[in-house]
Amino acid sequence: MEAEPSSTATTTRITDLNEDSLAHCATYLSLQDLSNLATTCKSLKRVAYSDPIWQHCFREHWPRELLQTSGLREAYLKRRVAVQQFKFVDPLVADLYITDAKPFDHIILDKNDITFSQGSLVQMTNIDSFLNGRDGVTALSDHNARITCMRLFPLSETSLFRSETQRKENVLVTSSCDHSIRLWWKGSCQRCFRGHNGPVLTLSDKLLGDGSAKVLASGGEDGTVRLWSLSSSGKRGQHALKATLYGHEKPIKLMSVAGHRTSLLATISKDSKVRVWDTTTSSAVRSSCCVGMTSVPGAPVDVKCCESLLYVAAGSSVVAIDLRTMQKVITVAIYQPKLCSFAIVPSKPLICTGGIDKAKLWDIRINQETLKPEPVAELDGHTGPVTLLHMDPYKIVTGGPEDSYINVWETDTGAQTNSFICCPSDAASSSSGMGCSAMAVNGTRIVTASYGEEHGLVCFRDFFNATCAVSKREDVLASKFWDPQSYSDGDAYS
């Protein structure tokens, strides 16, 4: 006969532990987990905000920094925001000189791995290896015409994935004017996809679909959208082409995958006709996959999907289109005489546009109330078109082919936080100085590419361990001419 449970039995709850024990356990949590802990109840919020936790976080990331005795959470968060906004003059700098003195078409920064293209050539390097003098640049020369687009996708969403140890690895996908698409991994071409009757001009910014069989979309000069399975095996990518979608009459310029339904693909052609495709539709007539159409005025500059909205930058304006109705919801920005670039942060109601000599910051909420949108800030100080534009929750980074400097601004206010050179000082001061040809930003790291008469330059900067803050008393121009400690490829191999 089983004994009845004692009525005096008690259950131990997490809040029964003392705060010191809880704080020690909480040091093993991520920032997101700490944030979640703080929202559970008042007592755990007090633990999540306690100094021992944030002292541990600070020491883990910046062990050489002097710490104050209290308010460590605020100090940690302030420091974290400052390095994200590049508010320092002494980042780690590595200069990589390239023998080919020609434009850089594309550049990608993935952690400390840099991938860039010039013409038909893809080149890759790892900054850690470069600084330690081990590996130089790996050249990938399988394409025989100019590369038009480069994307990174998770290795786990391709047929090359073998084990969980590869979970964080990415593959590189490139399209080219040689009519092909190539998938690269570990420094070599693993797949080659052919099917377009002309140059392949663009690739989808994300893979389509929710399941294991993800699909890549491409757009060509032949006006077709083609869907490719990255799960297909075989070096030549046999049977990878899943569908060809017809409907556009002109070359396809840009494409973006919807945020609310990953089976929807938005495309825009050079005549500014917008089409939305449901890539899961099964039909013998592939044009029936088109579930929406519209058009916008002006030449296409960029398109980005954010949930159920499609933002289209074309001509001199940015408009938001509801993908469910294909109706224009709002004109977000108007930039005369024309737009050169466009960026948006999905987590904030802000967009940024690049034009001639400056960029502008716009608040979507404010412009919903007016027929003529007005910027909330003008990011002035460039020379020529601002064609390079990065935007994240912390910062906006701007540059262009006629300007030797990169400018950095706070996302929320548009206040300038830094300005630094993207080419050698002697070239910047000469009449034939190099502007910025390509740029990529990833957290506290930025890589820029420029070229001159004799060589190209890829410059990597990491602000994570920087300690010398930009002086608030400096005017904007003075901050352009700081000269940080840098490491060139000559230093790395000496």
Cis peptide before 52 (omega within 30 of 0): no
CA distance 492 to 494: 6
Q: Which residue has the tokens 């032949």?
A: 222
Express each pLDDT in 152-180 by its tens digit.
999 988 888 888 878 889 999 999 999 99
**For residue 176, what pLDDT is reported?**
98
Does 423 score more than 80 pLDDT?
no
The H or E element containing residue 37 is: helix 31-38
Q: Which tokens in the block code for residue 31?
A: 């920032």
Q: Of the candidates 112, 150, 123, which has an alpha carbon nearest to the alpha carbon of residue 444?
A: 112
Q: Beta 388-391 vs 377-385: how paired, if at all?
A: unpaired
Percentage of the chain with pLDDT > 90?
A: 60
**For residue 235, what pLDDT is reported?**
56
- What is the DSSP code string of 315-361? TTEEEEEETTTTEEEEEEEE-SS---EEEE-TTSSEEEEE-EEEEEE
Q: Which domains does the chain have, with CATH numbers?
A: 16-83 (no CATH), 142-295 (2.130.10.10)
Q: Which tokens in the block code for residue 473?
A: 């008393």
Q: Which residue has the tokens 């930009």?
A: 470
**DSSP reduced 3-state for 424:** coil
Express each pLDDT in 253-290 by its tens digit.
999 999 999 999 999 999 999 999 999 875 445 556 89
Does 480 score more than 90 pLDDT?
no
Does 236 score more than 70 pLDDT?
no
CA dihedral 60, 48, 24, 467 (to 10 degrees): 20
**Is the full-model pTM beyond 0.95?**
no
370 pLDDT band (50/70/90 cuts)?
confident
pLDDT top residue among 45 and 4: 45
Q: CA separation (Å) from 192 to 51, 167, 173, 178, 187?
A: 54, 23, 10, 11, 14
CA distance 213 to 263: 12
**For residue 136, what pLDDT is reported?**
78
**For residue 287, what pLDDT is reported?**
56
Q: Taken in order 488, 92, 107, 296, is the CA torsion positive or negative?
A: negative
CA distance 294 to 288: 16
Backbone phi and psi for residue 304, each to the nearest 5 degrees, phi listed first? -145, 130
Q: CA separation (Å) from 341 to 64, 309, 444, 478, 483?
A: 40, 19, 22, 27, 29
